[in-house]
Amino acid sequence: MSELNSPLFPPITPSRHGMLAVDELHTIYWEEVGNPAGIPVIFLHGGPGAGLSPQHRRFFDPQQYRVILFDQRGAGKSLPLGECRRNTTQLLIEDIERLRVQAGIDQWLVFGGSWGSTLALAYGEAHPQRCLGFVLRGIFLCTQREVDWFLHGARWFHPEIHEEFIAHIPEAERGDLLQAYLARIMDPDPDVHLPAVRAWSRFEGRRVFLLPQPDEASSDALDLGVGRLEAHYMANLGFFTEEQLLRQIDRIAHLPAVIVQGRYDVICPPVTAWQLHQAWPGSVLKMVADAGHGAMEYGISQALVQATEQFKRQRRFD
């Protein structure tokens, strides 16, 4: 997406940032941008394990919003990188609350995409009194059917990518791809886990955008965070009970929400966004006709910025 026609706000550097020790094992990186007296918002990145990007700061008017962003446990600049011990959704929710208290914020807008939408819903249902509303993108509820689709659905649209993915696993183990990859990804030997996390990350990354994108140079740090934490959370179905996020939607159903979904999202198919919208009568569903999963696809970015702009004016979505 060219900067000349980007719907995002201009690049901005953090006004504050730091590291917060959340337990004896994990220390998380956080940053703040925007107006200290503005509308508070928490940004929740995807993956899990993908970490922050400077682009994530740009969905919000810096004159009107106070934006808190952080790398979740095991991701980005948080330490230790790729650590799955003491890494559950419930503990991530506790981390969000620690950041809220540290920042002196009573209530905030909750903004998250992909896995970030999962975490946003889980946080909201645990602490509805702390939420002003929700901006969600590329909905993922971490159910068994969604995990199965992530691993196997690619063969219907991207058979060559799926074939490359399964080629890393001996044929005798392909009956349970997740466990086969998990065993390799969690192996302490870099000669074993690095090829596995690279394959996992490439499998996902090549399906994010509707239109083909130039291959971007990845990094072992990003691949390790994404590969380990995605496999870890998928293997545990997000540490949720069956259909938990939909069953408990009544806890936040009184709050405003906009759901932005790419029509051709093959990572998190639109049916999940539709199910969430149907369960949440007051929510607004924005189906972007010419987009896949990527937050930086023009139509997705435009809809997300429109949502934050509307919320700052009206504290609701139309």
Helix 89-103 × helix 115-126 angle, to 10°: 70
Candidates 223, 265, 283, 301; catalytic one = 265
Q: Residue 3: pLDDT above 80?
A: no
Please state, in angstroms and rounded to a whole number, the distance separating the CA atoms of residues 23 and 34: 28
Q: How confident is the model at residue 213 (pLDDT cuts 50, 70, 90)?
A: confident
Count of alpha carbons within 13 angstroms of residue 234, beta-carbon side = 25
Question: Helices 220-235 and 177-185, interaxial angle, to 10°?
Answer: 130
> Which position among 114, 117, 283, 301 bears the catalytic label?
114
293 catalytic? Reply is yes
- Residues of the chain above pLDDT 70, percent: 98
Catalytic, 114? Answer yes
Task: Find the catalytic residue in 45, 56, 193, 293.
Answer: 293
Is 250 designated active site? no
What is the model's pLDDT at position 2? 54
> Stretch 220-227: mean pLDDT, rounded?
94
Return the closest-CA partner of residue 46 out of 244, 298, 229, 285: 229
Q: What is the mean pLDDT of the chain?
A: 96
| In the predicted structure, residue 35 carries a pLDDT above the cut 70 | yes
Domains and CATH numbers, the chain: 3-142+239-314 (3.40.50.1820), 144-238 (no CATH)
Q: How far is CA 173 from CA 65, 95, 181, 251, in A?
A: 49, 37, 9, 41
Q: Judge contact between 260 and 139, C-beta under 8 A.
A: no
User: Is residue 84 within 8 Å of residue 73, measured between CB atoms?
Assistant: no
Q: Tally Cβ neighbours within 10 Å of residue 124.
A: 25
Average pLDDT over residues 228-233: 98
Mean pLDDT for the stretch of residues 42-64? 97
This prediction has a pTM of 0.97
* Mean pLDDT value across residues 122-127: 98
Closest to 298 (Cα-Cα) out of 213, 196, 230: 213
Q: What is the pLDDT of residues 246-305, one digit of tens each?
A: 999 999 999 999 999 999 999 999 999 999 999 999 999 999 999 999 999 999 999 999
Higher pLDDT, 212 or 190: 190
